Amino acid sequence: MSSYGLHRVLHPAGVLPQQAWRLDADDTCGPDEVVLDVERLNLDAASYRQLREQHGVEGVRRAVLDIVAERGKVQNPVTGSGGMLLGTVRAVGPDSPLGLRVGDRVATLVSLTLTPLRVTDDLRRWDGASEQVPCTGTAVLFGRSIAAVLPDDLPDELALSVLDVCGAPALTDRVVRRRTAPSVLVLGGGGKSGSLSLAAARRAGAGRLTALVPTDAEADAVRAAGLADTVVVADARDPVAVADAVDRPADVTVVCVDVPGCEHGAILATADGGTIVFFSMATSFPTAALGAEGLAADVEMLIGNGYVPGHAAFALDLLRAEPAVRALFEHRQTQQA
Amino acid sequence: MSSYGLHRVLHPAGVLPQQAWRLDADDTCGPDEVVLDVERLNLDAASYRQLREQHGVEGVRRAVLDIVAERGKVQNPVTGSGGMLLGTVRAVGPDSPLGLRVGDRVATLVSLTLTPLRVTDDLRRWDGASEQVPCTGTAVLFGRSIAAVLPDDLPDELALSVLDVCGAPALTDRVVRRRTAPSVLVLGGGGKSGSLSLAAARRAGAGRLTALVPTDAEADAVRAAGLADTVVVADARDPVAVADAVDRPADVTVVCVDVPGCEHGAILATADGGTIVFFSMATSFPTAALGAEGLAADVEMLIGNGYVPGHAAFALDLLRAEPAVRALFEHRQTQQA
């Protein structure tokens, strides 16, 4: 069980690091651990917003320092969420299975809520005005942690935004390859995980490929990128509109729309015997389960697991190989900046 | 779209019957519909409790009548839930695909929240003291509805308690058959869906079969029934305890424990490359998705769809063929009575 970091749990005893109140953030590298020199914390957006509302821009630095001092990790006690971090490998234990080498620049793909963290610079370079936190300190990865080596050929911001959603294209690839030229529908095909999933589905041998997006502007962008055979516009939360928009139900439906209420539309748009992969964290388990039952829909419904072996390299390779996907990502970053 | 009953939606226009405020409960049988003479309503437990708390035993009859009069269905506006009903087929439309015949005694397996209902006896035989409501009236099934013909050889109560969970053994059968002699773990193996899932897994060719239950008494019952090779006792909400209780991770894990917090235990107890089927409505989508990611667990996670073609007959046949399962069900009914 050491590979899950149980030996780093100080309180309460016997729980997993994510459930723990307090972790041991000592920077001595255990046999199957990796210790990182931290460069930057990326706080989860919901957590940063809550802390800023409670403490103000002036008080948010102190609030994060207090959390780390008390808990040995960044886990907002109100939202329960954390974020991720960038750093450089300082030490690798002899039994670490992660394949990292001293000097590698990495992003952690497991949450800060389970990552032992020490801060040594009082976060003095952070003005509190954004969730990007320049930081000097150390963090610990366990045997079962996940970290991606940052590529030399892509800007950090672009690589991080791909790594943030890298589970979606990897699982889409796996599900599509199980069938022979299945028709694939991606709800939210214009977004980050949606566009990568479209590209992954095409490469995995999808037959007819349909993207559903909420606006004409987004439809134009996806059409111009050539990521789908058909692009349709509908509100993914309206089951009847979704069913009307797609002329035939799909063999595989991938849900990448991060708003609640997309379960029934996905079910209606999927053929009997088909598979739905839900990647949105806004998915409701009972709504999906009872919806399929109420519609007598014989569909397989997968909870989109964010971890698939090799997912980070797979997503970065997709971005490199598909200029259209890269253009959509860069366009999105420009808009947000 | 008529097969989903859209033509029965009066308000608001264009939504599915379950989302509708008001349905048309006219008892004229449409081309792909079936009309039932209602015999009994089984209100959802949560709905009945809420109505009784709000209106008292004296007022609950009036409250249900008001809901049916206003909405054309039984859907508690507070809990959102309904229940199911028993009745006899009065009319079958020429295009109905359900395979029912006039005179069949059936239980509906889709929710009352999407079933057009008329009540004609003022529910005068109901004293309001239980969620079992003797009722005269009519109900409508659509092309995509699900109803099970009640068997002659089993008491109604026993058949209904099997039909209530019949999706679990059918999906377990399907998942286990995909592999060769997989090891199977059932969390909550002593319950209704759990014991049926154990029996289904055995018949589908499971290898090592393990049941996890919460108490020694339940362990004794499952052991005596011979439903599993190994029976272990642990709190399914404690991930470390679950992982410690099962000596090797399972290829297929079936979650039948109807309390929140069983996601991480199921993930830790499942081998890489394995499949978890979540049947509990208390399952949290984000907890499962983020849990698997945080534990770097390459597991397939299925939302337990309550509908699998043939599920009702499959579950009833299991009960008939497995005296041990029947004994557990009957013991449970005696305890509850």
Q: Which of B113, B290, B296 comes nearest A146 by C-beta?
A: B296
State mean pLDDT over A196-216: 98
Q: Are A39 and A184 contained in the same domain?
A: no
Q: Is the pLDDT of residue A181 over 60?
A: yes
Is the separation of the CB atoms in A255 and A280 below 8 Å? yes
Q: What is the DSSP string of B79-124?
A: T---EEEEEEEEEE-TT--S---TT-EEEE-S-GGGS-EEE-STTT
Q: Are residues B138 and B257 in the same domain?
A: no
Are residues A126 and A236 located together in one domain of the fold? no
What total number of domains does chain B contain? 2
Residue A306 φ then ψ, to 5°: -70, -5
* CA triple B184-B186-B190, angle to 5 deg: 140
B76 and B51 within one domain: yes
Q: Is B177 on the interface with A (CB under 8 A)?
A: no
Q: Give a yes or no: residue A161 inside a domain.
A: no
Identify whether A257 is part of a domain: yes
Domain end position, chosen among B100, B119, B150:
B150
* A245 shares its domain with A303: yes
Out of B96, B118, B150, pick the residue that ends a domain.
B150
| Cβ atoms of B204 and B176 closer than 8 Å | yes
| DSSP helix, strand, coil percent of chain A (3-state; round to 5) | 35, 25, 40
Q: Is the pLDDT of residue B277 over 80?
A: yes
Do A143 and A173 have their domain in common? no
User: Would you call A14 an interface residue with chain B, using a CB distance cutoff of 8 Å?
Assistant: yes
Question: Which residue, among A245, A244, A265, A253, has the nearest Cα to A300 in the 3D structure?
Answer: A253
Interface of A with B in 181-220 (CB under 8 A): none
Answer whether residue B64 shows pLDDT above 80.
yes
Shared domain check, B259 and B228? yes
Considering only CA atoms, which of A199, A296, A185 is closest in space to residue B3? A296
Helix/strand/coil for B207: coil
The reported pLDDT for the residue numbered B337 is: 44
Domain contains B158: no
* Same-domain status, A97 and A202: no
Q: Which of B145, B298, B301 sits opposite A303 (nearest CB)?
A: B301
Using DSSP's 3-state secondary structure scheme, residue B198 falls into helix
**For chain A, how many residues are written?**
337
Chain-chain contact of A281 with B285 (C-beta, under 8 angstroms): yes
Q: Cβ A293–B109 below 8 Å, yes or no? A: yes
The band of A1, judged by pLDDT with boundaries at 50, 70 and 90, is: low
Q: Of B209-213, B230-234, B278-282, which gets the smallest average pLDDT? A: B278-282
Does A263 fall in a domain?
yes
Q: Do A297 and B286 touch (CB under 8 A)?
A: no
| Parent domain of B177 | 167-336
Residue A13: pLDDT over 90: no
Claim to verify: residue B324 and residue B176 sit in the same structural domain: yes
Is residue B83 within 8 Å of residue B74, measured between CB atoms?
A: yes
Q: Percentage of residues in chain B with pLDDT exceeding 70?
A: 99
A268: exposed, middle or buried (Cβ count in 10 Å: 0-12, 13-18, 19+): buried
In the chain, the amino acid numbered B198 is L
DSSP 3-state of A151: coil
Beta strand B184-187 with B209-213: parallel, antiparallel or unpaired? parallel
Q: Which of A268, A252, A274 is nearest to A184 (CA)?
A: A252
Residues from chain A contacting residue B293 (CB–CB below 8 Å): 109-111, 146, 167, 305-307
- Cβ A305–B283 below 8 Å, yes or no? no
- A88 and A144 share a domain? yes
* Chain A contact present for B103, CB below 8 A: no
Which among B201, B261, B42, B256 has a CA at the least distance from the CA of B130?
B42
**Average of pLDDT values for A58-65?**
97
CB A201 within 8 A of CB A229: no
Residues of A in contact with B303 (CB under 8 A): 278, 285, 288-289, 292, 301-303
Residues B220-243, mean pLDDT to the nearest whole number: 96
Mean pLDDT along residues A303-320: 95
pLDDT band at B164 (very low <50, low <70, confident <90, very high): confident
Residue A246 lies in a domain: yes
Looking at the structure, do residues A129 and A183 belong to the same domain, yes or no? no
Cα–Cα distance for residue pair A138/A212, rounded to 1 Å: 43
Residues of B in contact with A19 (CB under 8 A): 239, 264
Distance CA A74, CA A67 (A): 6
Mean of all residue pLDDT scores within chain A: 94
pLDDT at A337: 44
Domain boundary pick from B150, B180, B214 = B150
Distance from CA of B58 to the nearest CA of A (A): 31
Sign of CA dihedral B42, B45, B49, B50: negative
Query: pLDDT tier at B108 (50, 70, 90 boundaries)?
Result: very high
Residue numbers of B between 133 and 152 with CB closer than 8 Å to A: 144-146
- Determine, yes or no, domain membership for B1: no
The answer as to whether A1 is a domain residue is no
List the alpha helices (DSSP H) in chain A. Answer: 45-71, 156-163, 167-177, 192-203, 216-225, 239-245, 263-268, 285-294, 311-321, 323-336
Residue B47 in domain: yes
Q: Hey, which residues does A108 pair with through a beta bridge?
A: A147
What's the rounded mean pLDDT across residues B239-245? 95
From chain B, pick out residues whose CB is under 8 angstroms from the CB of A110: 293-294, 296
Instruction: Indicate if A141 and A197 belong to the same structural domain.
Output: no
pLDDT of residue B22: 97
pTM of this structure = 0.92
- CATH number of the domain bearing residue A180: 3.90.180.10
State the pLDDT at residue B44: 87
